A = this chain, B = another copy of it.
Amino acid sequence: MKFSISEENYIKGIYHLQQHNEIVNTNLLAAELNSKAASVTDMLKKLNEKKIVQYQPYRGFKLNEKGSRIALGIVRRHRLWEYFLSEKLEMEWDKVHAIAEELEHVSSDELIGRLDNYLGNPKFDPHGDPIPDSKGNLPLMNKVRLSDAPLKKTATVCSVSDQTTAMLEMLKHYKIGINTKLKVIRQFDFDGSVEIKTGQNNTCTISKEVAKNIFVHYE
Interface residues of A (CB under 8 A from B): 85, 88-91, 95, 98-99, 102-103, 105-106, 108, 110-111, 114-115, 118
Given A88-B118, A89-B118: A106 in contact with B102 (beta carbons within 8 A): yes
- Shortest distance between the CB of A5 and any CB in chain B (Å): 9
Instruction: Give min CB distance, A107 to chain B, whole Å.
Output: 8
> Could you tell me if A114 and B90 are in contact, using CB atoms closer than 8 angstroms?
yes
A95: nearest chain-B partner, CB-CB: B110
Question: When the two chains form their complex, are residues A110 and B91 in contact, meaning their CB atoms are under 8 A apart?
Answer: yes
| Contact of A114 (CB < 8 Å), options: B89, B111, B118 | B89
A103 to B114, CA, bound (A): 15
Question: CA separation between A95 and B85, bound complex, in Å?
Answer: 23
Q: How far is the CB of A74 from chain B (nearest CB, A)?
A: 15
A118 contact set on B, CB distance < 8 A: 88-89
* Minimal beta-carbon separation of A91 from chain B (angstroms): 6
Given A89-B114, A91-B110; 5 other pairs, CB 8 A cutoff: A88-B118, A89-B111, A89-B115, A90-B114, A103-B103
Among B88, B98, B99, B106, the residue within 8 A (CB) of A99 is B106
A111 to B106, CA, bound (A): 16
CB-based nearest B residue for A117 = B89
A87 to chain B, nearest CB (A): 11
Q: Which residues of B contact A91 (CB under 8 A)?
A: 110-111, 114
Contacts A/B (CB < 8 Å), 13 sampled:
A88-B118, A89-B111, A89-B114, A89-B115, A89-B118, A90-B114, A91-B110, A102-B105, A102-B106, A102-B108, A103-B103, A103-B106, A106-B106
